[in-house]
Chains A and B, each alone.
Chain A
Amino acid sequence: MKVLAAMSGGVDSAVAAARAVEAGHEVVGVHLALSRMPGTLRTGSRGCCTIEDSMDAQRAANILGIPYYVWDFSERFKEEVVDDFIAEYQAGRTPNPCMRCNERIKFAALLEKALALGFDAVCTGHYATILTGDDGQLELHRSNAYAKDQSYVLGVLTEKELKHAYFPIGASASKDDIRAEAAARGLAVANKPDSYDICFIPEGDTQDWLNDKLGEIDGNIVDRTGNVLGQHSGAHGFTIGQRKGLNIGRPAADGKPRFVLEIRPKTNEVVVGSHAALAVIELAGSRFTWCGSAPVDATTWFDADVQVRAHADAVPCQAAVVDGEIVMKLRDPLMGVAPGQTAVLYVGTRVLGQATIDRTVSAVAVEAEALA
């Protein structure tokens, strides 16, 4: 088939493209330009859209002997990922921009463009596996390289997108294998460091970057019963579960530290409370998609596992669609889950679907905490 290999300039996508070539596909390498003003050189472990990264991708494509192009998605990226990131923080939520990028750029804008230009599939260097289920439908599964598994950030893929997604290194045992393979293939990116940070925040300091975009707005720090405990200079500067930097003079009645429990953008309030009150027992979101074919009857409670961060373990839950919302009742409480985070549902290794968390239910009632 005709494959568009999305090449970030990193080792994973380079080896993925190499395997696609080796599998006999007709492969074209494309680097996505996501920034209008790309930096010249990469710094540390950050980013994938500097000119140096684009050159790395081009060198890899040259070595593989495939055509290479740079396509500009900077405008779409700004609208769909960067602006969304800011808006989510502004709304008191904690977004995952990499998921948005997969959902709206790599497997939407890029995939649509690729299909219109005559490609059959988009190949990336993600660690996840696409399998055919018993019913003959495509399913997304965790990678064998469990430590590198990226099925979480691919949870946004829909049935149609799965049909055109291709993860040649998805079943690899480990990242070390991929690096060794890159070296053996003569790819200069073999030892390039992994990228971890948010690619569009050049200095890596999210709070600083948000302050710059959103400015400082003074507001109150309150407890769950509404008592004002202190002041802050911008609710977006806080994350759920945060303990340090609250600057509350008075200690709690029980002498224990306080944690950020909730951010209320409408009133610009930051709610704090005990560590125990961070525990949530239920998650729900109205923005959800199924990855592959939808369950026959999602309105009936079913057993699943839910993962709320890219590098967290999945925990058992019961899930069902109730009044247009997918509700996940956790068997054991999870600490510090923020609205805006994505909950990905698994059954075994299979990704069932995902939801952006709109609300959480605390494991500790307000009265109980007040009494404590």
Chain B
Amino acid sequence: MAIYLDYAASVPINAEVLATFTEALTVSGNASSTHSFGQTSRMMLEESREQIALAVGCDRSEVIFTSGGTESDNLAIKGLFWQRRGEDSARNVIVSAYTEHHGVIDPIEWLETHEGAEVIWLPVLENGQVDLKALENVLLDRANEVALVSLMWANNETGVITDIQAVTALAAKHKIPVHSDAVAAFGHMSTNFADSGLAAMSITAHKVAGPVGVGALILSRASKVTSLIHGGGQERSVRSGTMNAAGAKAFAHAAELAVKNLDQHIRHTDSLLAKLRESIETSIAGARFSRADAPGLSMNAHYTFEGLKSDGLLFLLDQAGFAVSAGSACQAGVARASHVLLAMGRSEDEANACLRITFGLETTAADIDAFVQALVPAVESARQAN
């Protein structure tokens, strides 16, 4: 039986959530219809919205359901940019960092190419943290031109955690809205929207043991975004399209469980991480823990192994029955150089030699032991194959 250690890619759906989801799928009716069927569906949707608001720490009107993290990121970035520049044509600057997920980098680069946006990519420290001193300076210099700042709460590859409150405190001085991609963070660390000072935050269900295909943009009541999808005016007129009530219900259940179990999850994964790190770092020479001393997610261990390429290592581990990841793959399925490590100043060779091991409540200490036992010879062979 294969052991799944790729929780950052997708967390296996929780059995209770699955039961909720399949039951919810039997509810007929469009949540926008006024008849009793529609009202039942609408009730399910609105209950889910309240449940998510509770889990996230926001007002229920601040929950905008989407199809997932990438859509939420696109809506926040393009929506805030167009809204702010529409109000003041001088606001043409987007501030972000190259350690972001492609769900953030790509819409920003799209705005740069197609909308003439100016992008300031903040410098990244060697441990993967964004240089907040540089952010402070950029905001001082260009305060009247910045449309938005977008910085992720936790990095999906390295697990590095950003001090979001420090970011929003800097931006608040200039009344600049901050968006955060919290897809990797939500449910794996404390992420209270109300306390964060954020204008917008992206989350998705399948990273908290919910189904794929449903997510949300948490958008503060004070923030306006230009809509990307036009139609029936659902979701505060921001995101048209028939609402996925069953998906919302499953997401709400998953979010509730994630928050309820958060302390236990962190304690458990913290001990697994300590065990994994000790085993790897004592048994494999040339293994480097990517985030070094930076604060990070307890469910994430990201390494580079000197002298190998990830594709060989991933192949051997998959053959040995362990599902892990190199961080990101291109559309064709090629493990490619990690743009996150490159942004951290690591070499192309290192960026091609990484391995991400991510786990959750269902992972056992025995799984970690078995994994390291397979990893040691796999690293050896992958080095020979290089």
Contacts and interface: CB of A to CB of B under 8 A. Distances in A.
Interface of A: 28, 31, 33, 38, 40, 51, 54, 58, 67, 69-72, 74, 112-113, 116-118
A51 B331 contact: yes
Given A67-B318, A69-B315, A117-B315, A51 B332 contact: yes
Given A70-B329, A70-B333, A113-B385, 5 more contacts: A38-B332, A72-B309, A72-B336, A117-B385, A118-B381
Nearest to A40: B331
B318 A117 contact: no
Best-surrounded residue of B332, B382, B385 (most CB of chain A within 10 A)? B332
B315 A54 contact: no
B384 interface: yes
Closest 4 CB pairs of A and B: A116-B385, A70-B333, A54-B332, A33-B334
B163 interface: no
Interface in B306-352: 309, 311-312, 314-316, 318-319, 329-336
B316 A117 contact: yes
21 contacts: A31-B332, A33-B333, A38-B332, A40-B331, A51-B331, A51-B332, A58-B333, A67-B318, A69-B311, A69-B314, A69-B315, A69-B318, A70-B334, A112-B385, A113-B312, A113-B385, A116-B312, A116-B381, A116-B384, A116-B385, A118-B381
Contacts of A40: 331
Nearest to A50: B332
Contacts, number: 55
Contacts of A38: 330-332
Given A116-B384, A116-B385, A70 B315 contact: no
Interface string B349-386: 00000000000000000000000000000000110110
B200 to A, nearest CB: 31
Contacts of B336: 72
Contacts of A71: 311-312, 315, 334
B384 A72 contact: no
Best-surrounded residue of A51, A72, A113, A118 (most CB of chain B within 10 A)? A72
A54 B311 CA distance: 16
Contacts of A112: 385
Nearest to A72: B334
Interface in B201-226: none
B106 to A, nearest CB: 15
Best-surrounded residue of A31, A112, A116 (most CB of chain B within 10 A)? A116
Best-surrounded residue of B311, B318, B335 (most CB of chain A within 10 A)? B311
Given A113-B385, A116-B381, A72 B335 contact: yes
Contacts of A51: 331-332
Contacts of A70: 311, 329, 332-335
Contacts of A118: 316, 381
A38 B319 CA distance: 27
A100 B254 CA distance: 54
Best-surrounded residue of A58, A74, A118 (most CB of chain B within 10 A)? A118
Contacts of A113: 312, 385
Contacts of A117: 312, 315-316, 381-382, 385
Contacts of B330: 33, 38
A58 B329 CA distance: 15
Contacts of B316: 117-118
A72 B318 contact: no
A29 to B, nearest CB: 11
Contacts of A116: 312, 381, 384-385
Contacts of B333: 31, 33, 54, 58, 69-70
A40 B333 CA distance: 13
A195 B341 CA distance: 37
A357 to B, nearest CB: 34
B247 to A, nearest CB: 27
A74 B332 CA distance: 13
B172 to A, nearest CB: 41
Nearest to B333: A70
Contacts of B315: 28, 69, 71, 117
Best-surrounded residue of A38, A54, A71, A118 (most CB of chain B within 10 A)? A71
Nearest to A116: B385
Nearest to B318: A67
A71 to B, nearest CB: 5
A69 B385 CA distance: 16
A67 B311 CA distance: 14
A362 B311 CA distance: 50
Interface string B16-32: 00000000000000000
A113 B311 CA distance: 11
Nearest to B336: A72
Contacts of B334: 33, 70-72, 74
A67 B316 CA distance: 12
A71 B314 CA distance: 10
A118 B318 CA distance: 14
A73 to B, nearest CB: 10
A51 B330 CA distance: 10
A113 B334 CA distance: 16
A53 to B, nearest CB: 9
Contacts of B312: 71, 113, 116-117
A91 to B, nearest CB: 29
A116 B329 CA distance: 23
Contacts of B318: 67, 69
Interface in B165-206: none
Contacts of A31: 332-333
A72 B311 contact: yes
A69 B313 CA distance: 12
